[in-house]
Amino acid sequence: MVEPHFEMASLNAVKQQLRLTMKHRLGAVSRESAIAQSATVANTLRNFKPYQDAKRVSIFLSMPTGEIQTDGIVKHALEAGKEVFVPYLHRNPSPSPDLPQRVMDMVRLNNLRDYESLKPDRWGIPSVDPGTVHERQRIFGGPDAHHSDQVLLDLILVPGVAFDIDSESGAIRRLGHGKGFYDYFINRHNAKAVSLGKQESSPVLLYGLALHEQFLTSPSEGAVPVGPLDQPLDGLLLGNGDIIIPSSHQNETE
């Protein structure tokens, strides 16, 4: 069984090995199964209190294979009148040897037509036109006409490669794709919340969406290794309809 904490070099090596294992595992998931599981997650989410209560929601836009397809979720959120924010990757405006060269922001979709006009990038993921970003509300923009400097998210729906539960703490652990975009974004979002005095009153909720094949349930499947910057999740919605919630967060979903 993989231990949850490592020195940085060995941590990265173990993460890469698990990503390779998951690549083979997810490659065997049929398109039909992925579509059916995505519909299940979307239906579960619609009746999920943290989602229902959220006004500002960040939703990842899916790769064509290997993860939950979020197209239906984005459309439902827009039709429900929620403010929907999606990832936008760009060069770090504050370059430093200690910081990533590319970072992620979340930018707001204007409406359903805006969403449907997005063009796929080289990975097949719908992407916001960089030429429109300055016109949009965004989490790390502003001050601007949209008051971006005052905007925080209520809920972030997070992708991942693999997920599991720490047997000792009960925390839900997530393995990302290795770029650190979400962990760095969440840390920056938390810092912004502190600066606005809202970290305690309205902390952002982090929920993963996953195919059931991405959830590791036994030691024989391995375990998700984590370091000090990896963010635990408030919950996980699976393609078989299960909702995984740490015992410390049960009251948030009732």
- Distance CA(138)–CA(15), nearest Å, equals 31
Q: Cβ contacts of residue 139 below 8 Å, gap of 6+?
A: 85, 105, 106, 107, 148, 151, 152, 153, 185, 189, 192
* 46 in any annotated domain: yes
What CATH number corresponds to the domain at position 25?
A: 3.40.50.10420
- Distance CA(244)–CA(231), nearest Å, equals 16
Looking at 48-62, 84-98, 127-141, 169-183, which range is the least confident one? Answer: 84-98
Which helix (H) or strand (E) segment is 232 a member of? none
* 1 in any annotated domain: no
* Domain count along the chain: 1
Residue 52 pLDDT level (bands cut at 50, 70, 90): very high
**Strands, E, within 60-199: which ranges?**
83-91, 102-108, 119-120, 126-127, 155-158, 162-165, 172-175
- Residue 92 has a pLDDT of 85
- Distance CA(32)–CA(171), nearest Å, equals 31
- Residue 228 has a pLDDT of 87
- Residue 225 has a pLDDT of 93
Beta bridge partners of residue 127, listed in sequence order: 119
- Distance CA(52)–CA(82), nearest Å, equals 9
Q: Which domain holds residue 197?
A: 8-253
Mean pLDDT for 188-193 is 94
Predicted confidence (pLDDT) at residue 175 exceeds the cutoff of 50 = yes
- Distance CA(213)–CA(162), nearest Å, equals 8
Q: pLDDT for 83-96, tens place per residue? A: 999 999 998 877 77
* 142 in any annotated domain: yes
Looking at 72-86, 165-179, 200-214, 240-254, which range is the least confident one? Answer: 240-254
- Residue 254 has a pLDDT of 55
* 2 in any annotated domain: no
- Residue 4 has a pLDDT of 47
Q: Cβ contacts of residue 44 below 8 Å, gap of 6+?
A: 237, 241, 243
* 111 in any annotated domain: yes
Mean pLDDT for 225-240 is 94
* 188 in any annotated domain: yes
* 86 in any annotated domain: yes
Q: Are 205 and 199 in contact (CB under 8 A)?
A: no
Mean pLDDT for 49-63 is 97
CA 39 to chain centre: 18
The token duo for 208 is 């993963």
* 160 in any annotated domain: yes
